[in-house]
Amino acid sequence: MMKQWLDIADEIKQIYSGKEFVPLHEPTLGEKESEYVTDCIKSGWVSSVGKYVDQFEKQLAEYVGVKRAVAVVNGTAALHVALKMAGVQPGDEVFMPSLTFVATANAASYLQAVPHFVDVSKETLGLDPYKLEKHILEIGEMKNGELINKNTGRIIRTVVPMHTFGHPVDIDQLLIVCKRYNLALVEDAAESLGSLYKGKHTGSFGVAGAVSFNGNKIITTGGGGAILTNDEELADYAKHITTTAKIPHRWEYNHDELGYNYRMPNLNAALGCAQLEKIEYFVSSKRALVNKYKLIFENFDGVSVFEEGTQVKSNYWLQTLMIDRKNHKLEKVLEVLNAYGIMARPVWTPMHKLSIFENSPQSNLEVTNYLAESLINIPSTPLKGEEE
């Protein structure tokens, strides 16, 4: 069986022009990025203000189809502020998947809220709205228009779905559950810029959404993130508190509440403007890549390429394999691929298995535990010159 995986490794190297080491994901940068960044440097406005920040926010909002985008220093900061915009208070609980990157749970914790972990769907890899409602019926009760966890006495105000590896969750059903139990929806769309649910961009459905532009994301600003919203008032508030809550004045430094120095530097925004101009190419190239992987694995027993569901369009940020544990030992597969120069990784350790969140409330997490032992990501950098 390991000989088959060595053959697979060779085929992946051929996709990437015979490179000896194929990383999981690396940025695709070119002349336009150099042009914009050089222009930014020449202007002298490289830090917290400048024309590229405003330009990037405008372009991003237009691309996603929301009224406003607020650029910040990273995706975690974006989610932190998005949860604050949704009214999350100290002591509240926040529904979220356990199968996620730690930033989702950290962002809630920054507000002294408590992550409450709910199971995911095998079909989307994201929060399962049916299991969420089943869990609510078991542990929740409505009092004065608020959902209360009967076991802890805490208010549950918010649901945070995460679009895993770029695959949209079942948003429609999730919105129904949110409306029924008076829950605010905040999307962790860190990985799903360019993904659509029924023709509408992820990150645009709830009170706010958060995206990431880390170096391994579909577009990058080096580091960076953004808050997305259709609420102009909330957008103004987000812009205010992410720029240290400073009251505008020509020279005085007055601040009217606890703020955060979460501003995206102009230099990073310049890079983002160039990257955003290429996003359709990046998405199309990644969608072409998944078809190449499907051909490679079509006759490989016990391994399947995870594909998008119906009525959605995934950006396929990270290409994902589902491994049948009866036929393959996950650790051995990872060992062989990485030793042969193919960077592969397992899914994140589920949040409920981390010691820092071991006391957080949780639903039955059967699917989460199964997927954590069944999924691996393989190289996902867009292929130059190849599109869908």
- Residue 2: pLDDT band with limits 50, 70, 90: confident
- Predicted confidence at residue 326, as pLDDT, reads 83
Asked whether 117 and 363 are in contact (CB, 8 A), the reply is: yes
- Predicted confidence at residue 354, as pLDDT, reads 98
- Predicted confidence at residue 228, as pLDDT, reads 98
- Predicted confidence at residue 385, as pLDDT, reads 72
> What is the residue extent of each domain of the chain?
2-26+279-378, 31-276
- Residue 208: pLDDT band with limits 50, 70, 90: very high
Beta-ladder partners of 156: 93, 147
What pLDDT, in 10s, does the model give residues 107-121? 999 999 999 999 999
Q: Over 90: is that where the pLDDT of 38 sits?
A: yes
- Predicted confidence at residue 325, as pLDDT, reads 84
Q: Over 90: is that where the pLDDT of 1 sits?
A: no
Asked whether 165 and 187 are in contact (CB, 8 A), the reply is: no
pTM for the full predicted model: 0.96
Please give the order of strands across the beta sheet that includes 375-378.
303-305, 319-323, 375-378, 345-346
What pLDDT, in 10s, does the model give residues 84-102? 999 999 999 999 999 999 9
CATH topology of domain 31-276: Aspartate Aminotransferase; domain 2 (3.40.640)
DSSP state letters, 311-361: TEE----SEEEEE-TTT--HHHHHHHHHHTTB--EEPPPPGGGSGGGTTS-
Task: Say yes or no: domain 2-26+279-378 is CATH 3.90.850.10.
Answer: no
User: Residue 314: how many CB atoms within 10 A of its CB?
Assistant: 27
- Predicted confidence at residue 327, as pLDDT, reads 81
Q: What rounded mean pLDDT belongs to the chain? A: 96
Asked whether 347 and 99 are in contact (CB, 8 A), the reply is: yes
Question: Do the first three CATH levels of 2-26+279-378 and 31-276 match, i.e. the same topology?
Answer: no
What is the rounded CA–CA span in Å between residue 336 and residue 329? 11
- Predicted confidence at residue 237, as pLDDT, reads 98
Residue range 360-380: average pLDDT?
97
Q: Over 90: is that where the pLDDT of 290 sits?
A: yes
What is the rounded CA–CA span in Å between residue 128 and residue 169? 8
What pLDDT, in 10s, does the model give residues 137-167? 999 999 999 999 999 999 999 999 999 999 9
- Residue 280: pLDDT band with limits 50, 70, 90: very high
Which helix (DSSP H) or strand (DSSP E) does residue 378 occupy? Answer: strand 375-378
What is the rounded CA–CA span in Å between residue 116 and residue 386? 42
Token pair, residue 196, equals 């659509």
> H/E/C letters for each residue in 38-93?
HHHHHHCCCCCCCHHHHHHHHHHHHHHCCCEEEEECCHHHHHHHHHHHCCCCCCCE
- Beta strands 93-97 and 114-118: pairing type? parallel
DSSP state letters, 241-257: HTBTTBPP-SS---B-S
* Residue 370: C-alpha distances to residues 119, 180, 338 (Å): 11, 29, 23
What pLDDT, in 10s, does the model give residues 345-357? 999 999 999 999 9
What pLDDT, in 10s, does the model give residues 374-388? 999 999 999 987 767
> Which of 64-68, 78-82, 300-304, 312-316 is least confident?
300-304
What pLDDT, in 10s, does the model give residues 248-273? 999 999 999 999 999 999 999 999 99
Asked whether 227 and 216 are in contact (CB, 8 A), the reply is: no
* Residue 53: strand, helix, or coil: helix
What is the rounded CA–CA span in Å between residue 116 and residue 93? 6
